[in-house]
Amino acid sequence: MTGRETRNSEQKELAARAAGGDIRAFEELIMAERPRLYSFALAMSGGNHADAADVLQEAFIKAFVNIRRFRGDSSFGTWLWRIVHNEFLNYRVALRSRPIRQEGDDETVSRLPSDHPGPAESLIAAERRAKVLELVALLPPKYREAIVMIDIREQPYDETAELLGISMSALKTRLMRAREKFSELVRKRKEHFI
Amino acid sequence: MKPCERTVQLVAASMGRDLERDEALFLKEHAAVCPECRAHLAASDTAIGILKGGLVPQEIDTPPLFNERLRERLRERAGHPSWYRYLPQIRFRRFELGFLATLLLLAVGAVTFFYFHEDAPQPQLVTQKEVSTDTPLSIDLEYLAVHPIAEVTVTIELDEGVVFHSDYREIADARSHTWKGRFNEGINSIPFMVTVEKPGIREIRTRADIGDWRHEHRITLTSNGKMLTMAMYRLPKRRI
């Protein structure tokens, strides 16, 4: 049995236990994906920790309630990503109806650790990151997730297309349109970047 | 104006691989003489330039108390499992399903009867129809405006077991949709389609916020697995 088959078999066993109400088994299942999913959720919600945490909590609860539907056709990670992705589509109205970021809000991405932290990282750079994410959050969800997955998180194209349930060519078309829309937003809000 | 097809193809090709030298040269030379393609390439470069570079770390720990709160909610769920978690284990024969559907219809009838005989302003039956469950149900929300209204928000919310029928996944997967726009003088129609996934009684709730007033509909869908009966009620309007 290969390592992947072993992992799938373990996941099915944990999923079966979770379906019987075993919370620890479910926590073990989501543990590996949680930091990556939270990073995705944060980028999708314009750097707003409260929104990212809300959406992820709801997605995890839905995954737990529907764990019987996980049949092991794909990996548990892929199955879970799809639930989070759907949850963001459901939440789009709620997210759009509230301000993306308030001045002085300390739950924003400006407090995020960088991948390359160090004394050279200035406050301006952190502010700029926050502002870019604000603009990303203004995109419609299907464009936002294409940009978040490919451009920001640099996920492979084939993996992203599978997660979104669309073809590679559809993903590329969507990404092109997303970049155009993002670039339009940048033009309209130049003051963000001065 | 749209960019040229060849440019779009090459930009798509550049996703996931480096362009060949002659392809890159074509883009450079073509962009110099074609403003649409130049704008298209500039938009792509602007986006990539801004978005690359560690905007968000690849992995981030969830906030403090996230895990505790999640565990608490999971315990609640595990302690009080939803009925539908057991549904796959229940197998009905056809006549039993019909009997249950009849009981449900009678119960709804009784509840509706008593509800309608209160003194308060009552819901009005707007329309009623019966269709096969094999086809999606088309519903028209109609609003009569005596003068144009600049800003109207209409929200449609579905019960579990009812889904929007659409080729677009983002529509089909959503539990609710909100439409914003203006109403013209006369009848304004907002059509949508749904499919009932499970037999039983489901509900669709709609609300239209017009100025200070909220206009609501309740749409009851009763399915026995073969036929679907729809009844749409208009609730008395109320101040928001």
CATH number, domain containing residue B128: 2.60.40.10
Question: Residue B168: what pLDDT?
Answer: 78
Average pLDDT, chain B: 80
Question: Residue A170: what pLDDT?
Answer: 92
B178 touches chain A (CB under 8 A): yes
Task: Specify if B231 maps to a domain.
Answer: yes
Both tokens of B207, joined, read 């609300």
Q: Are residues B107 and B18 in the same domain?
A: no
Task: Specify if B98 maps to a domain.
Answer: yes
Count of residues in chain B: 240
The closest alpha carbon to B77, from A90, A58, A81, belongs to A58
Closest CA–CA distance from residue A150 to any residue of chain B (Å)? 10
Closest CA–CA distance from residue B91 to any residue of chain A (Å)? 17
Count of residues in chain A: 194
For residues A81-105, one letter each, b for 16 or more C-beta atoms within 10 angstroms of the residue's C-beta and e for the rest, the string is bbbbbbbbbbbbeebeeeebbeeeb
Question: Residue B219: what pLDDT?
Answer: 92
Both tokens of A105, joined, read 């809000």
Residues of B in contact with A53 (CB under 8 A): 62-63, 66
Between CA A79 and CA A67 the distance in angstroms is 10
Task: Specify if B157 maps to a domain.
Answer: yes
Tell me which of B1, B19, B48, B50 to substitute to probe the interface with A (most A C-beta atoms closer than 10 Å).
B50
Q: Which of B44, B50, B56 sits opposite A186 (nearest CB)?
A: B50
Q: Are residues B203 and B97 in the same domain?
A: yes
Residue B235 clears pLDDT 60, i.e. is over it:
yes
Between CA B207 and CA A121 the distance in angstroms is 49
pLDDT tens-digit readout, B49-93: 888 767 788 888 888 789 888 998 888 877 655 554 554 444 455
Q: Are residues B168 and B99 in the same domain?
A: yes
The 10 Å Cβ neighbour count of residue A20 is 11
Q: Are residues B128 and B25 in the same domain?
A: no
Domain ranges of chain A: 3-193
Task: Specify if B68 maps to a domain.
Answer: no
Question: Residue B207: what pLDDT?
Answer: 92
Q: What is the DSSP string of A69-95?
A: G--SSS-HHHHHHHHHHHHHHHTHHHH
SS3 content of chain A, % helix, strand, coil (to 5): 70, 0, 30
Q: Are residues B97 and B212 in the same domain?
A: yes
Q: Which of A49, A114, A141 sits opposite B170 (nearest CB)?
A: A141
Residue B206's DSSP bridge partners are: B156, B217
Residues of B in contact with A184 (CB under 8 A): 43
The closest alpha carbon to A152, from B60, B170, B8, belongs to B60
Q: Are residues B200 and B150 in the same domain?
A: yes
Average pLDDT over residues B31-46: 86
Q: Are residues B36 and B141 in the same domain?
A: no
Q: Are residues B217 and B128 in the same domain?
A: yes
Question: Residue B117: what pLDDT?
Answer: 55
Q: Which of B44, B73, B176 sits opposite A179 (nearest CB)?
A: B44
List the single residue in A with minimal CA-CA distance to B41: A180
Task: Specify if B46 maps to a domain.
Answer: yes
Q: What is the DSSP string of A169-186?
A: HHHHHHHHHHHHHHHHHH
Q: Are residues B100 and B177 in the same domain?
A: yes
Residues of A in contact with B175 (CB under 8 A): 90
pLDDT tens-digit readout, B81-105: 555 455 444 445 555 677 788 888 8
Question: Residue A25: what pLDDT?
Answer: 92
Between CA B72 and CA A22 the distance in angstroms is 13
Task: Specify if B107 maps to a domain.
Answer: yes
CATH 2.40.50.100 fits A3-193, yes or no: no
Q: Are residues B111 and B206 in the same domain?
A: yes
Q: Which of B11, B59, B70 sits opposite A39 (nearest CB)?
A: B59
List the single residue in B with minimal CA-CA distance to A31: B67
Task: Specify if B32 maps to a domain.
Answer: yes
Task: Specify if B83 maps to a domain.
Answer: no
First CA to last CA distance, chain B: 45
Please state the domain count of chain B: 2
Which domain covers residue B198, as residue numbers?
92-239
Please list the pLDDT of chain A residue by residue as tens digits (194 residues): 567 677 778 888 888 898 888 899 999 999 988 999 999 998 888 888 888 899 999 999 999 998 888 877 778 888 999 899 888 877 754 444 444 443 334 444 444 444 444 444 445 566 777 888 888 888 888 899 999 999 888 889 998 998 888 999 899 999 988 988 888 888 777 655 54
